[in-house]
Structure 1
Amino acid sequence: MIGLLGVALALGGAYLAWLGGSWAYIVLGLLMAGVGFSVMAQRTIALPLSILLSLVAAGWAFGEVGDVFWLVLPRVGVFLVLPIVVGVLAPFFGSTERNPVGGAVRSGALRSGGVPRAWGLGIAAVYAIIFCGVILGVFQPHAEVTADASQQPKADGALGQQNGNDWPAWGRNLTGDRFAPYTQINAQNVTDLKLAWTFHTGDLAIDGSEYQVTPLKIADTLYLCTPLNKVIALDPVTGKQKWRFDPHMQVTRGNKGWKRCRGVSYADLTTMSLLGPDAKAFGPEETPASADQASSVPAPAAPPVETATPAPVAITAETPCARRIVSTTNDARLFELDAATGALCEDFGDHGMVNLLEGLGPTAPGSYYLTSAPLVADGVIMVGGKINDNMTVGEPSGVIRGYDVRTGRLVWAWDASRGDKDSRPLPAGQIYATETPNFWGTASYDPKLGLAFIPMGNQTPDFWTGNRHDYSDEYTDAILALDIRTGQEHWHFRTANNDMFDYDVTSQPILYDMPDGKGETTPVVVALTKRSQIFVLDRRTGKPVVPVTDRKVATDGMPGQRISPVQPYSALSIGVDPLKESDMWGGTVFDQLYCRIAFRKMRWEGEFTPLSDKQKTLIWPGYYGGSNWGGGALDPQTGVLVVNDIRMAMWGQFIKREDAAHAGLVPSTEGEYSEQLGTPWGVERSMFVSPLGAPCFKPPYGSLTAIDLKTQKTLWQVPVGSIQDAAIHGVFGQKGIIPHLYVPIGMPTMGGPMLTQGNLAFFHGSLDNYFRAFDLRTGKEVWRERLPVGGQGTPMTYVEKGRQYVLVVAGGATRTGTNANKGDYVLAYALPATP
C-alpha cells in the first residue's frame, strides 16, 4: 500500500509538473515508493529511507510555506507516520539466527545488516512523539497576527456612551458601531457568564427559514422578528412574552426557500423630528451641485407630485402608537406596530400597512422582498429590497424609497437610472426603471449631516455583464450618500468599477470620527466589502481617507461582456492576498496534490478573472465574502475596528442552458446552477473543494481581526470556529460526516461581532454551535459556551434593573440544506445575581 501510494504520488506530481507546477511530489512519491517496496521486500534500508523522506518533506514544507502550521501539516503528516510504522517493523526484516537447540529465536539477534530492535523502536518512539506534538497542534488555535502589548491604542472613555442601557437600533445606534459602554461583564469575569433565561419563538428555522435577527431593547421591552416576519415583544429580565404580531406573510416563488428577518426598527414620534404635511423631495430645478462621481444619465420627465395632506394631531406620550416598531415582510410590505401593545398603527399607510410593490411593475411579485431592518431617522423610513439573483433579465427596480414615518406617505424615491438628477416619486401607474442596482443590507445615518449611507449591489444577473446599463455600472457596489429627508444624492463611491461575481456591498457602513493626529477629527464612513477591501471615506465628500488605487485586471472575457480594465483597491484589506499554487491545501499530501492540480487547470489571472465556457475560473475572494451582511464593529473609544470574514474560494463557468438541462442541473437563484435567462449563458458555480469535501485552499476559512483605524495596523487576527459541528463533505454543512472534534481551524462566518467597554468582543456566527467572547486587547478566546444549535446573527447586550445581559438568537448554522439541527432559541446570559 505504501509503495502504490508512492507511485500514485509520483505520477500525480509528474502531471502537476507538466502543468507547470512544483516538482517536489515526484521526489516525495519516488522516495515513498522506495520505502513501501523495501518494506515489502523486508529490506532494512526502508528505515533510513523513511527518515530521509520525512526530512526531505520537512525541508520542502518549511522552505515553501515557512512555519505556517496548517500549511506545513499536510506536507509532512503522512511522512511522519512512515518512520513509526517502519521502525516497528524493521527489527523483523530478514531471516533471524536460530538457536541450535530447539530452533528458538535469540532475542534481538538479526542477520548481518539487520536493525536492532532497540534502534527501530527508538526511532519509532521519537517520531511518535513528534507526531503527537503535531496532533496536539491541530486542537489549538493558530493566530495569524499576535497582539503586541506595546501597540494597544489608548481609550477615550467619554466616547460611545449614547443610548444608555438600551439597544434601540440594529447596530445599537444608527452609526452602526455595535459598541456598548458596559463594564459589568468584562474580560476578567466573563468566565462566570451563565444562561439567565431561554425563550422559544415557535417558528423553527426550517423550509428555507434562517434566524439572522438582532433584537432591539427599548426601555423595559425586547423586540425581535422571526423569519416569517412575526414580531415578538419580551420581558428583558425574564424572557416572558408580552405580545406577538403575525403579518401572515405570503409564500412566493422568491421567498419560498429564502425567509429572513434580520431585525426591526424603532420610532419614537414624541422625540423625532417629523416631516410636515407638505414635505417633498428636490425637483430637477432645485437640485444642488453634484459630487465628482455623479451620473450623467438624463433625468426622465416627472410631473410634480401632490403632497398636501391634512395636518396631523399633536403626539404625546399617551397617544396610541406614539412609540412604534417598524418592520417589513418577505412579501414586500412595510408596517408599523404600537410598541406598547403590538397593535397595527391604523394611521400609517392602509390601516398600518404599505404595499412596497407599487411602482415596481409586473416582475416584482415573487421577486422583490425585504430581509433587513429599515433605516428610521429624522421622520423618514428608508427601505430598499432584495431581488432574485441570476434567474432572468428584467428583474424589478432597485429603487430606494423614503416614507413618512407617521403616515406612510411616499416622500421620495432614488433610483440609479435618475441618479442625482431627480428623487421625486413617480406618478401613480408609472414604473421605476427595471434592472437597476439594489440595496438589501442595512444603512447608517449621520444626524449632523442629515445623510444616510447606503451599501449598494449590482445589476442582476450577477455573472453576465453584457446587458449592464451605463447607470448600473456607475452605481455598482457603491456607497451612496442620500439626504434622508429628500432622497437627494450627495455623493457615491464605487467599490468595484464592474462586478461579475456578486460582490454586492451589504455590510452596514460604520460611521466614526477618526483622529487625524493633529488634534482634529475627520468624519469617516468605513465600508466593508465582500472583496475584503475596507474603504475609509470622508462622509462629507466620499473622498478616500485611506488611500485607494486603481489596478489593472484581466479583460479576456466572453464576447459581449462589459469588463472594466481597472478596479479600485484600498490600502486596507483582510486576508485577500492573491492565491498561488503553494496556498492549495488538503487534509493529507494526496488531496493537497489534487487541489494543486485543480488550481493549475483553472483560469486564474488574479481577482476579477472573467468566466469562460471552456474551463473553470477561480473566483477569489468568493462571492459569499469577505464581509457579508453581518458587517463589523468599532470601539469608538480606541478606534479599533473588529471584523469577521469568510475566506472561501469559489469557481464558476458559463454553460449552455441545454447542456445544463442534459446534465440534470436544477436552476435556482442561490444554488450551483442559474439559468440567467435573457443572456447568452447559464452559469455553473460552486466552492473549490477536494473530493473529500475539504476546501482546496489554506485555512483559516473565517477569522476575527482587530485593526487600529488610526494607524491601519492589524492588532491581532485569530481563527474563529471549529469543524466540530460542520459536515466534512461540504463546508457549508451539506450531507456528510459530522466530526465531533474541536479543531479550531477557523470556519466561514455569518453575522457580526459585538463589542463592549469591558474589553470584550462577542461572536456566535461560526459553523459550530458555540457562543464566544474574545479579549478585545489580545484576541484570545476567554469564554466559550455551547449552544443548542448554531447561530447566524449578531449578539446584542443591554442593562435592565442593574444587571447586564448578553443575548443571542440561535436557529441553526447557515445553509445546511436540511431541517436537521434547527431551532428557535432566544438565549440571554448574565453573571450570577448577587444576593
Structure 2
Amino acid sequence: MAIILALCGAALLAGGVWLLTHGGSAYYVIASVLFLVTALLLYRRKPEALAVYAALVVGTLIWALYEVGFDWWPLAARGDVVFILGALLLLPVVTRELGRRSVADALDGRHPTAPSALSGTGAMLSGSLVVAVAVAATSWFVDLHRTEGELPGVRTRVAGDAQGIPAGEWQAYGRTQGGQRWSPLADITPANVSDLEEAWQFHTGDKPQPGDPKETTFEVTPLKIGERLYLCTPHQSVIALNATTGEEVWRYDPRIQGELALQHLTCRGLAYQPPGAAPAAAAQPAPTQATAENPNAPAGTASELSAQGGLTAPQERRQSGAPTEGAPARQEGGAADPGLPVATASAETAVCDAKLFMPTADARLIALDPETGHVCSNFGGGDGQIDLWTNMPNVNPGSYYSTSPPIVMDNLVVVGGTVLDNVSTAEASGVIRAFDISTGQLVWNWDSGNPNETTPLPEGQTYTPNSPNSWSIMSADPQLGLVYVPLGNQPPDQWGANRSENVERYSSAVVALDIRTGQARWHFQTVHHDLWDYDVPAQASLIDLPINGETIPALVQPTKQGELFVLDRRTGQPVLPVTEKRAPGGAVAPDHTAPTQPVSQASFDPKALREKDMWGATMFDQLLCRIAFHSYRYDGRFTPPSLQGSIIYPGNFGVFNWGSVAVDPQRAVLFGTPAHLAFLSTLVPRPKDETLVVNQQKPEGALPALNENFGAPYAINLRPFTSVLGLPCQAPPWGNVAGVDLTTGETVWMHKNGTVRDAAPFPMIPFEMGVPNLGGPIMTAGGVAFLSGTLDYYVRGYDVTTGQELWRSRLPAGGQSTPMTYRGADGRQYLLVVAGGHGSLGTKRGDSVIAYALPKQ
C-alpha cells in the first residue's frame, strides 16, 4: 500500500505543481503531500498514517463540496480513488502491520498498539469514510441540473392538418413540409404507453461495405403513404413495406457509381409528390422580382433581362490545378459527369402520376413510382433522373450530393446538397435548385455566392464554387409560397479571411426563398462570420403561435450553438427577442471575428466552462483535464480557433443537429434534446499545399483527406475535448430532454437523458448520466414524445407535460434517426424506429426497422 500511495502522491505532485503555477487549484499539491506522508508513515509502520489519510478524506470532501456541491458525478470523480484507498487501509492485513514493532520501536522499548477500523486512528479514518458515504448518499437524491415544471395544455385547437395530410400518414420528413414532427394521432397516451410492444421487425440487408466512409449512417425517417412505408438505406436502396405487417413490397437499387469521394454516406429520407399534379406553371424562365432582399431588381422576365444586359456573370471560378497529395481530382467546367449510371438502365419504367424522389450519393435525383418502384419515364428527359452535377464547378464524384430529402411544392422539387467539409477551397457550389416535377427541367437556381440572379444558368457556365450549402432539411409554407433553407458555412469552416460579401451575408443563415422565382424574400443570420462550423443544421419547424392575443405564423430554428430563434416566417423578424452580445476577438491574422453574436430569448446556451467543471473517471484523469483546460485558449462562447488550440463550447456536434426539435401546434410547446459537448479546434499551418498535415496517411480509394483544407493557409485539427480514458473532460450531463413554452421562450422542464451503457470506451453499469443525442424527437396529440437517438440503444417514450420517461425498449443497434408514427390498416397507431447506428459516433451498426403498437384488443 505504501508504494501505491507514494506513486499516487508523486503523480499528483507533478501535475498539481504545474496546475498551481498556471492559476489552477492548490488541492492537488496539498493532496500529494498527504499521500506521500501517509506512504512514509505506512512504510515506518506508524498508526498515525491512518490519521493523516483521514485528514486527506475530510479535506477532499470539503474541497469537493466547495467546488460542486451535492452533484454526484463531480463528487465521485474527486473522491473515488481517495475513498477506495482509504477503505483498503482499514483492512486487517494493513492495520496489523501498524502494530508490529519496528527496529526503532524495539530500541526505544515501545510496544505500539495496532489500530482497527473501530479503534485508534483506524476509527478516525472510518469516521471520515462514513461522512463521505453520507454526503454521497445525499447527492444521489439531489439533481442540480434538473428543472421541474409542467408545459401548458391545449391552447389552440387545430382543425385538421394545415397542409392536408391525413392524420394517419407521414408524407414528408417532418410529417409535413412544415417540419413539426407532430402527429394528430392520440391513441398512445401517458396512461398506456408502457404497454407498447414490438409488432414487427424488418431487416434491410444493408451492411457495411469495403470503401465506406467512416460516417456511414442509417438516418432515415420513413414515409407512410396509403398502406405503404417508404425508406432508403445508407447504400441508397429504396424499399417499400406493408405498413401493417412489415413485409417487403418492392425494392429499387440505383446502382451507385463506385469510387466516390464521400465524407458521409447516408439517406435521411425521400420526398413525395401526390398524384394529380398539373404541369408546373413556372416551367418557363422565372421572372426576377424586387424583394426585401433584392429591392433594386429590374422588372421583366429572365430572357428580357438577358437581352438588356441585366444578368450578373457568375464569379470567377477558382482553378484547382493538379490534384495534391490526398486531395481528390476535380473536373472543371459545367459539364455533367459522364460516368453517372442511368436510372432506367437496370429497372422497369412507368409513366408516373405520383412520384417518390430519391437523392443519391453520386448526385442524381431519381423519380420512382410509389406503387411499383419503377423509374418514372416522364421525368428527367425520359431517363427518370436529374444529374445534379450539371453546371457545377470542381466536379469530383461523391464530393457533392443531397443527403437530405428535397422539398416538393407547387409542382416543383427543390434540391440542396452537401459539399466536402474542410477538404479544400475548390469544392462544388451550395446552389439551391428547383426542377419541374413533370419534366425535370430546371426552373430556377439560387446561389448564395450570386444571390440576385436566379434564372437557369446557361450551358457552359458554372455556379459559384464553395458557396454556403444546405446539407440539412428544408421546410416550406405553401400558403406563403416560401421555402425555408438552412445554410451552412463556406469551407474551410474555421478560416474565413477570404470570404466574399455574399458569403459573409448568407453563411449560417436561414433563408426564405420565393417558390415561384427562387428570389430570397428574407434571411436571418444565426452566427456572424462563422469560424466554428456552426452551420444551421436543422429543419425549421413552422407553427402558428398565440402571443398577446394575436396568432403569429412563426418559424422555430434550432442551432448548433443552442439558440432557438423564433421568427415571423413572413418577414424573418424575431417573435421572441434576439439580442447581440459581445463576443471574444483575437482570430489569427488576417482573419477576424465578429464583435457581437445573436442570442435568443429561447436559448440552451451553456454556462461558460470553468476549471472546476473538468471531470474524469478518477482524480488523475480529472487533473489532466484541468491541465488541458489551462493549456488551451478559452474565452467563453465563440472563442476563435487558434494556433495554440481553442476550446469550442458548445462544439460543432451541436446543442441541436439535423434531428431538429418537435413542436405541438395545439399546445404551442417544443420538445428538444439539447446536448453540450466541448471540442478542441487547432489551426495547423500548411508548409506546402500538396502535403498532409493532420492526416497520417492518404485515405483509401477516393475517400477525401478531411480537415486538410487544401488551398488554405491552415488545416484544422478538430476533435472532442476528452480525457485519456476517452470520456468528456467536462462534467455530465452531456445530453438532456427539455420542454419549452414557445410563447415565452421559457424552458419549463429539463432532465438529463440516457445512460452510458453503450457509450463508454469500456463496459460500464448503465448509469443515468445524460448522453448526447443524434436524431430527432417526435410528439403526438396523445401527449407522448418519442426519441431513439441517444448514444445508448433505446427508444424511449416521455410525458410531454412533465418530461418524465414513461417507457423504453432496447434496440439492436444505435437508433440515430428520427422515429415516426402512423395508423395501420388494422386501425392501430404504430411507432416506427430505425436502428442502424452511426459511424462517427461509434454506435453499433445494424439494418433494423422496428414497429411498435399497443396490444390488439
- Deviation (angstroms), 1:273: 6.5
Which of residues 281, 289, 300 is equivalent to 2:286? 281
Report the more deviating stretch, 807-816 or 625-634: 807-816
What's the secondary structure of 1:646's corresponding residue? coil
Match of 2:96 in 1: 92
1:16 and 1:128, CA in 2 relative to 1: closer, same or farther beyond 3 A? Answer: closer
* CA offset digits 1:353-373 (Å, max 9, x no partner): 111111113435332111101
AA matched with 1:460: P
Match of 2:754 in 1: 721
Query: 2:155–2:668: 8 Å Cα contact kept in structure 1?
Result: no
- Deviation (angstroms), 1:427: 1.5
AA matched with 2:676: R
- Deviation (angstroms), 1:198: 1.0
What's the secondary structure of 2:674's corresponding residue? strand
AA matched with 2:20: A
Query: 2:183–2:821: 8 Å Cα contact kept in structure 1?
Result: yes
Question: How many residue pairs end up in the alignment?
Answer: 786
Query: 2:585–2:640: 8 Å Cα contact kept in structure 1?
Result: yes
* CA offset digits 1:29-64 (Å, max 9, x no partner): 222333333333332223333332222222211212
* CA offset digits 1:685-711 (Å, max 9, x no partner): 211111111111121222222111122
- Deviation (angstroms), 1:278: 5.0
CA distance in 2, matches of 1:355, 1:72: 57
What's the secondary structure of 1:16's corresponding residue? helix
Match of 1:224 in 2: 231
Do structure 1's residue 693 and structure 2's residue 692 form an aligned pair?
no
CA distance in 2, matches of 1:27, 1:10: 8
1:389 and 1:220, CA in 2 relative to 1: closer, same or farther beyond 3 A? Answer: same
Which of residues 481, 505, 508 is equivalent to 1:450? 481
Match of 1:833 in 2: 856
1:378-417 alignment, distance < 5 Å? 378-417=410-449
Which of residues 531, 536, 539 is equivalent to 1:500? 531
1:370-519 alignment, distance < 5 Å? 370-419=402-451, 421-516=452-547, 518-519=548-549
AA matched with 1:269: P
Match of 1:145 in 2: 146
Match of 1:591 in 2: 621
- Deviation (angstroms), 1:154: 2.3
CA distance in 1, matches of 2:53, 2:704: 46
Match of 2:158 in 1: 159
Match of 1:321 in 2: 352
AA matched with 2:564: I
What's the secondary structure of 1:75's corresponding residue? helix
TM-score w.r.t. length of structure 2: 0.86
Match of 1:558 in 2: 588
1:241 and 1:655, CA in 2 relative to 1: closer, same or farther beyond 3 A? Answer: same
1:673 and 1:581, CA in 2 relative to 1: closer, same or farther beyond 3 A? Answer: farther
1:189 and 1:663, CA in 2 relative to 1: closer, same or farther beyond 3 A? Answer: closer
* CA offset digits 1:783-811 (Å, max 9, x no partner): 12111111210011111121011111111
Which of residues 206, 209, 222 is equivalent to 1:215? 222
Match of 2:346 in 1: none
CA distance in 1, matches of 2:685, 2:450: 35
1:45 and 1:338, CA in 2 relative to 1: closer, same or farther beyond 3 A? Answer: same
Structure 2 residue ranges without an equivalent (≥5): 102-109, 309-349
Do structure 1's residue 786 and structure 2's residue 802 form an aligned pair?
no
What's the secondary structure of 1:263's corresponding residue? coil
Do structure 1's residue 679 and structure 2's residue 679 form an aligned pair?
no
* CA offset digits 1:440-462 (Å, max 9, x no partner): 11111112211111100111111
CA distance in 1, matches of 2:733, 2:53: 31
Match of 2:273 in 1: 267
CA distance in 2, matches of 1:449, 1:188: 39
1:497 and 1:664, CA in 2 relative to 1: closer, same or farther beyond 3 A? Answer: closer
- Deviation (angstroms), 1:240: 0.5
CA distance in 1, matches of 2:119, 2:365: 78
- Deviation (angstroms), 1:575: 4.8
- Deviation (angstroms), 1:438: 0.7
Query: 1:627–1:645: 8 Å Cα contact kept in structure 2?
Result: yes
* CA offset digits 1:409-461 (Å, max 9, x no partner): 11111111232x22211112211111211111111111221111110011111
AA matched with 1:394: A
- Deviation (angstroms), 1:562: 4.1
What's the secondary structure of 2:36's corresponding residue? helix
AA matched with 2:796: R
Match of 1:631 in 2: 660
1:662 and 1:335, CA in 2 relative to 1: closer, same or farther beyond 3 A? Answer: closer
Match of 2:342 in 1: none
Match of 2:330 in 1: none
CA distance in 2, matches of 1:579, 1:326: 45
Match of 1:744 in 2: 768
AA matched with 1:641: L
Query: 1:50–1:82: 8 Å Cα contact kept in structure 2?
Result: no
Match of 1:233 in 2: 240
Which of residues 197, 201, 214 is equivalent to 1:198? 201
Do structure 1's residue 534 and structure 2's residue 537 form an aligned pair?
no
Match of 1:812 in 2: 837
- Deviation (angstroms), 1:301: 11
TM-score w.r.t. length of structure 1: 0.88
CA distance in 2, matches of 1:426, 1:96: 93
Which of residues 665, 687, 691 is equivalent to 2:696? 665
Which of residues 796, 804, 823 is equivalent to 1:772? 796
1:413 and 1:335, CA in 2 relative to 1: closer, same or farther beyond 3 A? Answer: same
- Deviation (angstroms), 1:76: 2.1
- Deviation (angstroms), 1:122: 6.6
AA matched with 2:834: V
- Deviation (angstroms), 1:340: 1.0
Do structure 1's residue 51 and structure 2's residue 58 form an aligned pair?
no
Query: 1:672–1:686: 8 Å Cα contact kept in structure 2?
Result: no
CA distance in 1, matches of 2:90, 2:26: 28
Do structure 1's residue 361 and structure 2's residue 393 form an aligned pair?
yes
1:289 and 1:496, CA in 2 relative to 1: closer, same or farther beyond 3 A? Answer: closer
Match of 2:192 in 1: 189
Match of 2:575 in 1: 545
Match of 1:37 in 2: 40
* CA offset digits 1:297-338 (Å, max 9, x no partner): xx9997379xxxxxxxxxxxxx95222111211111112111
Match of 1:734 in 2: none
Match of 1:105 in 2: none
CA distance in 1, matches of 2:254, 2:396: 20
CA distance in 2, matches of 1:304, 1:369: 34
Match of 2:822 in 1: 798
* CA offset digits 1:125-165 (Å, max 9, x no partner): 767777778888999995722322xx431214723852311
1:10-89 alignment, distance < 5 Å? 10-89=13-92
AA matched with 2:816: Q
- Deviation (angstroms), 1:661: 4.3
1:155 and 1:273, CA in 2 relative to 1: closer, same or farther beyond 3 A? Answer: farther
CA distance in 2, matches of 1:777, 1:45: 57
AA matched with 1:335: I
Structure 1 residue ranges without an equivalent (≥5): 98-109, 306-318, 729-736
1:564 and 1:514, CA in 2 relative to 1: closer, same or farther beyond 3 A? Answer: same
1:415 and 1:70, CA in 2 relative to 1: closer, same or farther beyond 3 A? Answer: same
Query: 2:54–2:125: 8 Å Cα contact kept in structure 1?
Result: no
Which of residues 222, 245, 260 is equivalent to 1:253? 260
What's the secondary structure of 2:622's corresponding residue? helix
AA matched with 1:57: T
Query: 1:205–1:811: 8 Å Cα contact kept in structure 2?
Result: no
* CA offset digits 1:52-79 (Å, max 9, x no partner): 2222222211212222222222122223
AA matched with 2:845: K
* CA offset digits 1:88-137 (Å, max 9, x no partner): 3474254469xxxxxxxxxxxx9566535533777777677777788889
- Deviation (angstroms), 1:519: 1.9
Do structure 1's residue 641 and structure 2's residue 670 form an aligned pair?
yes
Match of 2:335 in 1: none
Which of residues 620, 633, 638 is equivalent to 1:608? 638
What's the secondary structure of 2:470's corresponding residue? coil
